Structure 1
Amino acid sequence: MSASILIIVSICAFFLAYLTYGAFLAKKLGLDPTKQTPAHSRRDGVDYIPARAPVLLGHHFASIAGAAPIIGPVTAAAFGWVPVALWIIFGGIFIGAVHDFTSLVASVRHGGRSIGEIINDNVGPTGKRLFGIFAWLTLVLIIAVFAIVIANTFVAVPAAASASTLFMIIAIIFGFTIYRGNASLAVSSIVGVALLIVAIWLGNMFPLALSFNIWVVVLFIYAFVASVTPVWILLQPRDYLNSFLLYGMIAGALVGLLISNPTIQLPAYTGFKTGLGYLFPVLFVTVACGAISGFHSLVASGTTAKQLDKETDARVIGYGGMLIECVLATIAIITAAVLLQDNYVEAMKSGGPVALFSAGVGGFLTKLGLSQQVGTSFAALVVSAFALTTLDTATRLARFIFQEFFTEVKQDSQDAVSSAKGGVLSNMFVGTGISVFLGALLALSGEWNKIWPIFGSANQLLAALALLAVSVWLARMGKDNSFTKYPMVFMFLVTLSALGITIMQTLNAGNYLLMIIAVLLFILAVVLAYLANVALKDAASGQNTIGA
């Protein structure tokens, strides 16, 4: 089969889904362009600030599309390319994009607060506390791991460190130009992208070589500063400009792929059980970003909801942004699928999924006149740039969740927060400092290795809980929630099955720390599902119904 057919069919499916199912969801959610969003009603110049749709899409897309939509599909190709492609297409359209879109809208309707606060309002304070602890610990783990990944990348490729540093300087200038100089977004974008290209060239000319430990310290200092700095100064403009690198890589790979028109060589299906485990549930926790990822709900309800200018922008940013990531995931599976089985296995052993993907994209870019080396290096640089985006976004999200956990919020209506009280632990600097300190401790001690294997299940549990929160919220307003409820049930089945298998495997292997964590996550999922079921029954019987 031609790889061109797969990518064309996928893109057509995503485009039609946006026009039809995306419009259906927008109608069900009752998006109102005249309704004031938290970016306006709670504008504080730090976290809450309205952003134009293209800028916010760039920020949101850069935050959710790190290395995961590449690593997951390439790794899961061990099951064959057909199961992976089907999960990306159907999972992305009917579960992942719905999850991102509805999480964003639900957060906007709750004053730009997180999924944990939505659970608090619709399920109860116990649910909020359990979710808050779980989500914060997951983010601390992400912070630790991505700091290590980036530090290793900077040590191995000093040019990437120089380019990334220059990217930040360009982003700050861009932010002041747009928000303080009222410059044209189109003109500033063209100049900004041109400067990014110059930064890549200068990075190769003047590589910045530091030791691993120094980079780890520098990265955590950067993460702290980025988390408390007004979003318009660094985070938003840097993510927006960086998104053009990813757009460019995707576009170049697509054109090169269509020109080269490679044949899919990998087996369509290798069997229900492989070296990775059983197809169900392993496929569905391995391919997270690119199909559905709980981390996206934290981004949507953490940073994106606080910057949404109009409710109607949520469709292109939440639903559309996820579908663009699905395109990236489809390209990723194609880079593996065009290899023979033996070559795929060898590539995974020698370089891993990111190296395989970078080499594959580099091959497609040769059709545009670039050398294999330049194309591969460009793809690797783009991936590392978005790993850095994930680091600072995760730190900011950890700060939000930490603050909310120790803050009492009083809400007069579904849409307006009237007052909030909290002690010293609700201070942004304290929340950021504790999150960064524990992340650094985990990174430098090497203890993250012991718990990282369970991250896939934890991430998909986040997705199930986000869908749970939205489902209860919709039910309590008397609205149809079938489009979130059934995906929620599926994700709970996936998560509980994966955790059950992990418990048995770790028990047999004597890895008791991982087993205990898996058991705790299993209990957490069951307790929250029970609380949600009670809330859903109350809503069905007409008790405690909230007006729209």
Structure 2
Amino acid sequence: MSAVILLLAGLAMMSLGYFIYSKFIAEKIYRLDPDYRTPAHEFEDGVDFVPTNRFVLWGHHFTSVAGAAPIVGPAIAVIWGWAPAFLWVVFGTIFFAGVHDMGAIWASVRNKARSVGSLTGDVVGKRARSIFMIVIFLVLLMVNAVFAVVIAKLMMSFPTAVLPVWGAIGVALIVGQLIYRRILNLVSVSVIGVIALYALIFAGPSMPIQMPAEVAGVSGNAVWIVLLFIYAGVASILPVWMLLQPRDYINGLQLFVGLLILYGAILLLNPTMVAPMFNDAVPAGTPSIIPLLFVTIACGAISGFHGLVASGTTSKQLNKETDARFVGYFGAIGEGCLSLAAILVATAGFASLTDWKAMYSAFGQGGVTAFVEGGAYIIHNGLGLPQVTAATLLTVMAALFAGTTMDTGLRLQRYIFQEFGEIYNQPWMQKPLVATLLAVGSCMLLAFGAGADGSGGMIIWPLFGTTNQLLAGLTLLVITVMLVHMRRPMWYTLAPLCFLLVMTVVALLTQLRTFYQQENYFLLFLDVVVLIAAILVAMECAAALKRHRAIAAAEDGNAS
């Protein structure tokens, strides 16, 4: 099968999803109001609450939710064949992710930009809020600790990417000043920012920066991780317009340029999908495709982390409520396009089926390596770009997305500690600096608690997929209950909610058996905790929906 056919089919279906389905959801279900006064205006403070141009906000939201996950997940899941991954990414983007992300922004905006975890206490109940806050904390802990490891390993493996990865921070600081001090218009700033970023990418191969294997008795990998957390801690306190927004916006533009290069190379080269459509000869030890496909590919289909970003930072910057469709749903489309590219290069970016099987000799292999190597092969042969430059470009793309997600993730974790302070009446915990130190400290404890190399976060990473999808189900639960209370159709959010809960519970049971067989009792314990949370969520879901439907029916009866 030609990769071009899949590319065009995927883009066509996601375009229809945005122009038709998202418009229906925005107008008929969420009923976005252009005259509604958003929290960005109501609580404007120049730090967290900042009314923002929807294109700039889209860049922040999209690159914050994208990270490395929409590359890693699909590039691992193709071990079951390219067809299941392709179908889940396309239809998951249209009917799951877009509805979830836009809905999370809408729900938060309608409740003073409160996070979806805090909002759960009012919409569902205090017990659900407690469960939600635990799940949120676990997800953020995993994301921040693991993405630091991912970026550090990329910089250790590809020293040509170090200059553009860190240089992008300087570009973002300049762009932020140019935009918000109105020195130049957005178009001019965008062009300058993209040119500067790509100049750094092309300069990277000629100016590699190699961290020594050991620095003062500490591994080079650990040094990068510490530096990344110091940076993320500072970034989480700075006003969003100064670094977070412009960094995310420029990275969003960089992604589209990168995708155009990848898609252009695919169109010119017209490579064949060397991987099987359905892989019946998976390596020994590969788990069943159902339900693992639906938790291996989270970002790119639907991800609970998106709800945290949507209700944590994005809702505080929304200029008009109607912007939620462009920022939220189109942000999901952008991530779907990235996942589609990951699928294509991880299945068509190899010379032969034998080469592909060598990459996918065991479950969990592929990932960023398959994306970088497969993509570089396609770009080199399709556009003639030197393979080392193509590999640097794709490595920087992955590292920058992981970095922007880590920036936002740590800020969100700071918000969570502040919300803990509000819930339990601890004023000291509500201070931004204290909350930031707690966020950084908890991540560092996980990262370095299991070893001096800082990769401790990888220990609990196998539970990320299930925990993340449970979080997505919780977010859809909040949105569904709000719709029921407002007497609006609920099936467009209830159906994805039920599907996710079923798949999450089955996946947790599957992993439970695996951890027991491996005698991994730490993960076994955590799996049981998340499984209990999933069951409690399902019970709270049924109770809350029944309660709110009864209230709505009673109010309608009294009105008549």
| Deviation of 1:363 (Å) | 2.8
> In the alignment, which residue of structure 2 is the partner of 1:427?
431
Equivalent position to 1:358, from 372, 394, 417:
372
In structure 2, distance between residues paired with 1:270 and 1:202: 40
Residues 281-292 of structure 1 aligned to structure 2 (within 5 Å): 281-292=291-302
- Return closer, same or farther for 1:97/1:380 CA change in 2, 3 Å cut-off: same
Cα distance in structure 2, aligned partners of 1:137 and 1:286:
17
Letter in 2 for 1:462: L
Map of 1:222 onto structure 2: 231
Kindly indicate whether the alpha-carbon contact (under 8 Å) linking 1:293 and 1:460 is maintained by their aligned counterparts in 2. yes
| Aligned counterparts, 1:398-413, within 5 A | 398-408=413-423
Equivalent residue letter for 2:172: A
Larger CA deviation: 485-494 vs 217-226: 217-226
Partner amino acid, structure 1, of 2:341: I
Match of 1:437 among 435, 441, 444: 441
Name stretches of at least 5 consecutive residues in structure 2 with no aligned partner.
212-219, 451-455
Which stretch shows the higher mean deviation, 396-405 or 151-160?
151-160
Could you tell me which runs of 5 or more consecutive residues in structure 1 were left unpaired when the two chains were aligned. Answer: 410-420
Match of 1:521 in 2: 530
Is the 2:4–2:271 Cα contact (8 Å) retained in structure 1? yes
The structural deviation recorded for 1:170 is 1.5
Task: Identify the residue that residue 346 of structure 1 maps to in structure 2.
Answer: 358
Q: Note the C-alpha offset of 1:204.
A: 4.0
Please tell me the residue identity of whatever aligns with 2:437.
G
Report the CA distance between 1:240 and its aligned residue: 0.6
**Sequence identity of aligned pairs in percent?**
40
Deviations 1:432-473 (A, max 9, x none): 111101111211233434322111111111111111111111
Farther-moved stretch of structure 1 (372-381 vs 247-256): 372-381
Q: 1:48, 1:255 → 2: CA distance? A: 39
Question: Once the 2 structures are TM-superposed, how far is the Cα of residue 329 of structure 1 from its aligned partner?
Answer: 1.0
Rate the CA distance shift 1:21–1:169 in 2: closer, same or farther, 3 A.
same
Q: Which residues of 2 match residues 484-523 of structure 1 at below 5 A?
A: 484-523=493-532
Following superposition of structure 1 onto structure 2, how do residues 82-161 of structure 1 map, counting pairs within 5 Å?
A: 82-161=83-162
Alignment partner, residue 412 of structure 1: none
What is the alpha-carbon distance in structure 2 between the residues aligned to residue 341 and residue 159 of structure 1? 30
User: What code does the residue aligned with 1:319 have?
Assistant: Y
Residue equivalent to 1:416: none
**Cα deviation digits, residues 137-162 of structure 1 (max 9, x gap):** 22112211111222222233333222
Q: Find the residue that maps to 1:277 and give its secondary structure.
A: coil
- Cα-to-partner distance string for 1:491-544 (whole Å, 9 max, x where unaligned): 000100001111122223221111111111111111122122212111111269
SS at match of 1:305: helix
Distance 2:536 2:367 in 1: 36
- Shift in Å, 1:201: 4.0
Structure 2 counterpart of 1:414: none
Q: Is the counterpart of residue 325 in structure 1 residue 335 in structure 2?
A: yes
- The amino acid across from 2:236 in the alignment is S
| Residue 129 of structure 1, CA deviation | 1.9
The aligned residue for residue 162 of structure 1 is 163
Deviation at 1:265, TM superposition (A): 2.3
| TM-score, scaled relative to structure 2 | 0.91
**Is the counterpart of residue 180 in structure 1 residue 181 in structure 2?**
yes
| Residue pair 2:101, 2:332 contacting (<8 A) in 1 also | yes
Q: Distance in 1 between matches of 2:519 and 2:376?
A: 43
The CA distance in 2 between the partners of 1:505 and 1:195, in whole Å, is 48
Structure 1 residues 29 and 182, CA, compared in 2 at 3 Å: closer, same or farther? farther
Q: Deviations over 1:380-406 (max 9, x none)?
A: 111111111121111011111221122
Contact 1:226/1:235, CA 8 A, preserved across alignment? yes
Query: How many residue pairs end up in the alignment?
Result: 536
Residue number in structure 1 paired with 2:550: 541
Task: Report the Cα distance in structure 1 between the residues aligned to 2:14 and 2:554, rounded to whole angstroms.
Answer: 35
Letter in 1 for 2:446: L
In structure 2, distance between residues paired with 1:546 and 1:193: 55
Residue of structure 1 in register with 2:539 after alignment: 530
**Alignment partners' CA distance in 2, 1:358 and 1:63:** 21
What is the alpha-carbon root mean square deviation over aligned residues? 2.1
Which of 280, 291, 308 is the matching residue for 1:298?
308
The structural deviation recorded for 1:118 is 2.1
* AA matched with 1:292: I
Partners of 1:538 and 1:544 within 8 A in 2:
no
Task: Name the CA distance, whole Å, in 2 between partners of 1:393 and 1:423.
Answer: 23
Q: Separation in 2 of the partners of 1:526 and 1:60?
A: 30
Query: Which whole-Å CA distance do the structure 1 matches of 2:458 and 2:328 have between them?
Result: 32
Deviates more, 1:98-107 or 1:201-210: 201-210
1:267 is matched with: 276
Instruction: Judge conservation of contact 1:476–1:546 (CA < 8 Å) in 2.
Output: no
Other-structure match for 1:17? 17
Aligned residue type for 2:389: V
1:137–1:179 CA distance, 2 compared to 1 (3 A): same
**Bigger CA drift: 337-346 or 97-106?**
337-346
Which has the larger displacement, 360-369 or 199-208? 199-208
* Distance in structure 2 (CA, Å) of the matches to 1:505 and 1:146: 25
Q: Are the counterparts in 1 of residues 60 and 249 from structure 2 also a CA contact under 8 Å? A: yes
Is contact 2:101–2:306 with CA below 8 Å preserved after alignment?
yes
Q: CA deviation at 1:102?
A: 0.8
The one-letter code matched in structure 1 to 2:421 is F
Aligned to 2:394: 379
Amino acid at match of 1:343: D
Deviations 1:356-384 (A, max 9, x none): 21222223323233122221221111111
Structure 2 partner of 1:77: 78
2:453 match: none
1:368 is aligned to 383
